[in-house]
Amino acid sequence: MSASTSRGERVDGAFERIEPLTIVVLDDYQNVAREFADWSRIDEFANVRVLTEHIGSEERLVDELRDAQIVVAMRERTRLTASVIEQLPDLQLIVTTGPSNAAIDVAYAWQRGIFVCGTGGYISPTTELTIALMMGVARSIVCEANSVASGGWQTQVGLELRGKTLGLVGLGRIGSEVAAVAQALGMNVIAWSQNLDAEVAASRGVRAVTRHELFSTADVVSIHLVLSDRSRGLVSTAEFTAMKPKALLINTSRGPIVDEMALVHALRNGTIGGAGLDVFDDEPLSLEHPLREIARTHPRVILTPHIGYVTDGLYRQFFTEIVEDIEAWLNHQAIRVLS
């Protein structure tokens, strides 16, 4: 798609504004897109509109994006489906944070002649949050902090992690980093996935086990799988029933890997000891969701709003590279395309 449209033209290699482009940044919850990158050159030829609230309605989303030539998407927050894209005749470029985004119908966008590109990224922020949730749940950090803030004092007895067994469902890049930190804490680490290589696991100091052994022996189960047809609903009633009564579940991967209603039942009935969740089936989590009610009263349940990748360093990379992608597209240079 040429940048020399009716909205502007090149003059001596620079973009001269005739009619400004419209760029819409979706789901910038903290309103920090401009803080983490220099948008000044973009402002010379475009009106940048930042949306800080999630738009769940397709009708409202189309209304917000109808005049946009460029849409900036935060990874897997707003769904840009074929139905949405079809109703955006002016759309020419979609830029997403991260190197992939399952919430965008990339194939349909390309079919419509819309460029789709992304940024780089790294995994350590999600690793850190996984460990933080594991420690926070084991020591009832939120419950105890709230007690002090409200005038109280100690209410719970914490669970030690040293000497306990961490079961990793998935031993990819994040799972391997989590394993290394857990081992430094003195935990034993086991792992299972459908394609896990026992020799690869052993090379990382991790023992490969069967699915049943992982869920029945681990003191903490942490999910590190890609969401797919094979992994959707993988952790459900049978897995919770197999877990120890004090065992903890941590999920910083994708919500639908865990059967939410089965988890709600397991927490309410004391089948498992607690959970730390950063991801959910539908995000943002609805106000009426039973997990919110459980989190208000259960000393070992912590819910965070999908902040695994929400850190200053990663946001700086995301938004800096988004600006670079937009400039590269306008200058007919190579961009980080998604396919």
Q: What is the pLDDT of residues 30-53, one digit of tens each?
A: 999 999 999 999 998 899 999 999
Concerning whether 306 is annotated as a catalytic residue, the answer is yes
Q: Which of 18-22, 101-105, 243-247, 302-306 has the lowest mean pLDDT?
A: 18-22
Name the active-site residue from 7, 75, 298, 306: 306
Name the active-site residue from 75, 254, 298, 300: 254
Q: What percent of the chain has pLDDT over 90?
A: 90
Q: Between β-strands 207-208 and 301-303, what pairing exists: parallel, antiparallel or unpaired?
A: unpaired
Concerning whether 254 is annotated as a catalytic residue, the answer is yes
Cα separations (Å) of 330 from 7, 165, 260? 12, 52, 44
* Mean pLDDT score, 288-299: 98
Tell me the pLDDT tens digit for each residue of 73-122: 999 899 999 999 999 999 999 999 999 999 999 999 999 999 999 999 99
Extents of the domains making up the chain:
8-118+312-330, 124-303
Kindly tell me if the per-residue pLDDT of 204 is higher than 50. Answer: yes
Task: Copy the structure tokens of residue 268.
Answer: 């309410």
When the candidates are 3.40.50.150, 3.40.50.720, 3.90.1010.10, 3.30.390.10, the CATH number that belongs to 8-118+312-330 is: 3.40.50.720
For residue 329, what pLDDT band results from cuts at 50, 70 and 90? very high
CB neighbours (10 Å) of residue 125?
20
Domains 8-118+312-330 and 124-303 share a fold: yes
CA dist 210 and 220 (Å) reads 16
pLDDT at 14: 46
Cα separations (Å) of 170 from 241, 253, 255, 304? 20, 10, 15, 21
pLDDT at 12: 45
pLDDT at 18: 53
Q: DSSP code of 284?
A: S
Give this prediction's pTM: 0.92
Kindly tell me if the per-residue pLDDT of 244 is higher than 70. Answer: yes
* Mean pLDDT score, 112-134: 97
Concerning whether 112 is annotated as a catalytic residue, the answer is no
Contact 254, 281 (CB under 8 A): no
Cβ partners under 8 Å of residue 156, min gap 6: 139, 140, 143, 144, 299, 300
For the four alpha carbons of 156, 161, 165 and 168, in that order, the dihedral sign comes to positive
For residue 7, what pLDDT band results from cuts at 50, 70 and 90? very low
Name the active-site residue from 64, 283, 324, 327: 283
Question: What's the topology of domain 124-303?
Answer: Rossmann fold (3.40.50)
Q: What percent of the chain has pLDDT over 70?
A: 94
* Mean pLDDT score, 275-284: 97
Q: Quote the crossing angle between the two packed helices 290-297 and 260-268, to the nearest 10°.
A: 30
For residue 184, what pLDDT band results from cuts at 50, 70 and 90? very high
